[in-house]
Structure 1
Amino acid sequence: MSSRFLAFTLVALLVFGTLSVALIKSAFAADDLWYPGEGVKKDMYLTYRIQELDTANGDPFIMTMWFQEQQDSNWIVPTYVEFEGRVIQGTMKLSDGMAYLAGSNQVPAEMNEFIGGYASSLHWLDAFTTKSEPLSLKAGSWGKIAAIGGAEIKPAGTEKVSFQGARDVCQADSCDATLVSWHKGVDNKIWIVNEFPFPVKAETFAEQSIGGSVTQFKFELLKVGAGQPNINATGEVPKPPLERKTSSGKYAVTLAWEPAEIQPGSNVNFGISFADNTHFPLKDVRYDFTLKDANGIVIVDLKDQRSEIGGPEIHSVKLNSSGTIRAEVIITAIEGQTTGQTIESAEFNVVVVPEFPVNAAIVVATVIGLVVVITRTRGISIGSTFGNRGNSP
């Protein structure tokens, strides 16, 4: 009896042990469902570089969102936008599905455009998968995109994807991610790491009525952290070259400059190039070129300039003050034909950075203050600390 009982006990333990392990694995294993906001945690912050067609002339900007706390299931999210050498700060309120809740936010008017860019990029997949009805990352299809002719959007398997913030997510230079894609003229790709609140990377495009395609939205996760983020007071500074489509979309104007980092008192060489919407150089272009400082004061106003073969046409300008410089190029005629009532203009923002930034000055002042305190405390002169000169022994 004892041997039978012992055998029964061992079998029971083996069965129940196996079941327990399976149940534990099942309880802690991540499912394959995903939606915007999955895995968000209190006090975490996320930093993305975002580019969206209808935001800031399609130029990239950096957005940092700090999920400070939850109130009635909604998130209070202090948000920082770095753009053209400045930082815009406000506090968004987001639903638990990451939707922007308008009307109850503390955001300045100038941030609204960038919030729209967030909704049309990082939060775009909410149109297909939501917290209330999440979809599987292994599903055969997530539906069709009516706005772009019914292209089917679907998970296309897993692959390694590299992005700047990868080590914060998976402790490696690239992470395993599900590729969600669709094809409309070109391949559009969004990479999702399961259990992470937003996609980590995206490259999507929009077709133009005049031919070709442009970036619809593009983003990349730069950093993940905890606690209030430390934001650079000067923000991200635009780097040359910059390209703008004119108001009609028929022409592209490119502005470059040297040196790439402009400091007050610098002589800057601006180069202007002209092309059609297929990037074929324009010939015999007549144009005006204007520079204004942050207060709207005209620095340069050049009229009736000419580009014979599309440029670059070089204009040398001395910039004395720091801050944002607004450049405008207006095409007035091409191959002898005026643009008529259509104003074919392109605008750019260029930043002149201080030679000795305020942040650096604060650090230096702090260091000097510490040196003075230490030397006074120890009764040592500054001269003896760094070596006396001209004193006899």
Structure 2
Amino acid sequence: MRNTIFIILFSMILVSGSVLPTTFAEHLSAGSGIGAGLAGVNHPGTWYPGENLKVGDYFKYKLCHESYKDCTDYWFSMWLEKEVLGGPEEIFRFQVLVEDGNRILKGHMDVGKIAPEAIGGTVSDNVLQYVSVYKSSIIWLSSFATADIDQPGKGPKAFSKVSWGKIANIGGEQVGAIGMETITVPAGEYDTIVIGWKSGGITSHIWVVDDFPFPVKASTWVQVTAGVPPQEYRFSLYEYKPNVSSSPFAGFTDTRETEKGVDCITNYELVKIFENTNTNSMVINILYGPEKPRIGCDVYWSLEFKKAFSTDLWENQVHYDILKVNLIDGKTIPTASAAEDEGHDKFFSTSGQVHRYWQMQGEPGLQKFAIIVYGTGPEYSVPNPEKFG
């Protein structure tokens, strides 16, 4: 990492702990208002999440959701190991692998056959938050389409149907098929039906394939009344293999194993720092905790990027990083980067509101940290340096 100027320097004591450019079919747009822009498509099939799902199926997705690290990408893989028999409901068991920056997490989840949603009490604790994202993204359409079941509004949905249902948020926009498109994702080329809806003036898209269990791609947006709509979730299918008979995750070691024996603090008050950048380009409200984190444990970070002339207004599309630094001969030298630890050159926040975790490594003692803003602008652009600080 190069030497540079950092916006806010602060210190915390580390304590020994031993006691995870998207493009989308802009030409396929849903209308606004109930039923507007939705007419179904001329395709004879029906679909629901989990359709044609079979034991041995293996899927690998690159995935993000705004509820987890402000939509920072990670890898989510799942292998359908077996059917689980003998209970009140027919269910499948998935083995799950998460690759989130420098972390590897292995677990499992049981899902239903009517809708492939994780069944409470069956999800490994270490992958629970990632399975929650899976529910809110990869299988989000199970709110509208399921396997055959004798319940009003449930069952497979026809691609020709005008509307699959109404989204449950302000405005109640309709969800349905808005077009057909042949697309290429890393897993291959697929003839897809595009499911879409419009909210806040922008259309969200999910690409599904008839007779294929899960969508192959998605790009959806949070509804906002002002400012730039942040990405709600996006994903793309990177690998699909049928008839996998043995665990594809056997060669991976769960990094949580290295954290055993670390007595992490779970109840703590947040430390608050409210300051301008050194260039007065914006104000940043920093909340972190615990005050004295332990080596091998996570520090929680809440960052709020506000406009310098009014802290009631948010900065949007912020490129930033959290750094550990040393001060040597009056120079600020970065020694570790939260972004690099997760495999990125920097972080990005559409909304200017950030919640994330960073696992502390190194030696116990007083450590200095800094927040750097590289600038503002669209995610995959060169940041505007006017906001640097």
Q: Which TM-score applies when normalising by structure 1? A: 0.53
The Cα of 1:148 is off from its aligned counterpart by 3.9
Q: Return the match for 2:127 from 111, 121, 127.
A: 111
Q: Return the match for 1:200 from 204, 216, 222.
A: 216
Question: What amino acid is aligned across from residue 191 of structure 2 in structure 1?
Answer: D
Question: What amino acid is aligned across from residue 230 of structure 2 in structure 1?
Answer: V
Corresponding residue for 1:84? Answer: 101
The Cα of 1:233 is off from its aligned counterpart by 4.8
- 2:144 is the alignment partner of 1:128: yes
Contact between 1:273 and 1:311, CA under 8 Å: does it hold in 2?
Answer: no
Closer, same or farther: CA 220–147 of 1 in aligned 2, 3 Å: same
Within 2, Cα distance between the matches of 1:311 and 1:282?
Answer: 16
Within 2, Cα distance between the matches of 1:59 and 1:292?
Answer: 23
Within 1, Cα distance between the matches of 2:180 and 2:47?
Answer: 14
Closer, same or farther: CA 284–208 of 1 in aligned 2, 3 Å: closer
- 2:83 is the alignment partner of 1:70: yes
- 2:333 is the alignment partner of 1:316: yes
- Between stretches 84-93 and 287-296, larger displacement belongs to 287-296
2:230 alignment partner, SS class: strand
Please show how residues 1-393 of structure 1 align to structure 2 within 5 Å: 32-72=45-85, 73-96=90-113, 97-103=115-121, 105-108=122-125, 110-132=126-148, 133-166=155-188, 174-185=189-200, 186-225=202-241, 226-227=244-245, 228-230=247-249, 233=253, 283=281, 285=283, 294-295=295-296, 315-318=332-335, 347=356, 349=358
Question: What amino acid is aligned across from residue 84 of structure 1 in structure 2?
Answer: G
Question: What amino acid is aligned across from residue 102 of structure 1 in structure 2?
Answer: G
Within 1, Cα distance between the matches of 2:146 and 2:354?
Answer: 41
Within 2, Cα distance between the matches of 1:196 and 1:137?
Answer: 14
1:177 alignment partner, SS class: strand
Within 2, Cα distance between the matches of 1:273 and 1:162?
Answer: 43
Larger relative contact order (CA 8 Å, sep ≥ 6): 2
Closer, same or farther: CA 284–107 of 1 in aligned 2, 3 Å: closer
Question: What amino acid is aligned across from residue 100 of structure 2 in structure 1?
Answer: F
1:93 alignment partner, SS class: strand
Number of residue-to-residue matches in the alignment = 245
The Cα of 1:98 is off from its aligned counterpart by 0.5
Within 1, Cα distance between the matches of 2:196 and 2:280?
Answer: 36
Question: What amino acid is aligned across from residue 99 of structure 1 in structure 2?
Answer: E
The Cα of 1:317 is off from its aligned counterpart by 2.4
Contact between 2:62 and 2:74, CA under 8 Å: does it hold in 1?
Answer: yes
The Cα of 1:138 is off from its aligned counterpart by 2.2
Contact between 2:297 and 2:359, CA under 8 Å: does it hold in 1?
Answer: no
Deviations 1:275-301 (A, max 9, x none): xxxxxx962657889998843699xxx
1:67 alignment partner, SS class: strand
Deviations 1:329-360 (A, max 9, x none): xxxxxxxxxxxxxxx986564899xxxxxxxx
Q: Which TM-score applies when normalising by structure 2? A: 0.54
CA RMSD of aligned residues (A): 4.0
Within 2, Cα distance between the matches of 1:76 and 1:115?
Answer: 13
Within 1, Cα distance between the matches of 2:222 and 2:102?
Answer: 28
Closer, same or farther: CA 195–348 of 1 in aligned 2, 3 Å: same
Closer, same or farther: CA 319–223 of 1 in aligned 2, 3 Å: same
Closer, same or farther: CA 31–77 of 1 in aligned 2, 3 Å: farther
Closer, same or farther: CA 180–286 of 1 in aligned 2, 3 Å: closer
The Cα of 1:155 is off from its aligned counterpart by 0.6
Give the structure with the larger helix fraction. 1
Within 2, Cα distance between the matches of 1:345 and 1:53?
Answer: 9
2:210 alignment partner, SS class: coil
Question: What amino acid is aligned across from residue 111 of structure 1 in structure 2?
Answer: V
Deviations 1:141-166 (A, max 9, x none): 21221314111111122111121112
Corresponding residue for 1:382? Answer: none
Closer, same or farther: CA 165–284 of 1 in aligned 2, 3 Å: closer
Q: Structure 1, unaligned stretches of length 5 or more?
A: 1-29, 167-173, 236-252, 254-271, 275-280, 299-306, 326-343, 353-393
Contact between 2:48 and 2:142, CA under 8 Å: does it hold in 1?
Answer: yes
Question: What amino acid is aligned across from residue 62 of structure 2 in structure 1?
Answer: R
The Cα of 1:86 is off from its aligned counterpart by 1.2
The Cα of 1:82 is off from its aligned counterpart by 1.2
Which entry has the higher C-alpha Rg, 1 or 2? 1
Closer, same or farther: CA 293–161 of 1 in aligned 2, 3 Å: farther
Question: What amino acid is aligned across from residue 296 of structure 2 in structure 1?
Answer: N
Closer, same or farther: CA 85–128 of 1 in aligned 2, 3 Å: same
1:146 alignment partner, SS class: coil
Question: What amino acid is aligned across from residue 179 of structure 1 in structure 2?
Answer: V
Contact between 2:70 and 2:355, CA under 8 Å: does it hold in 1?
Answer: no
Question: What amino acid is aligned across from residue 184 of structure 1 in structure 2?
Answer: S
2:132 alignment partner, SS class: helix
Question: What amino acid is aligned across from residue 283 of structure 1 in structure 2?
Answer: S
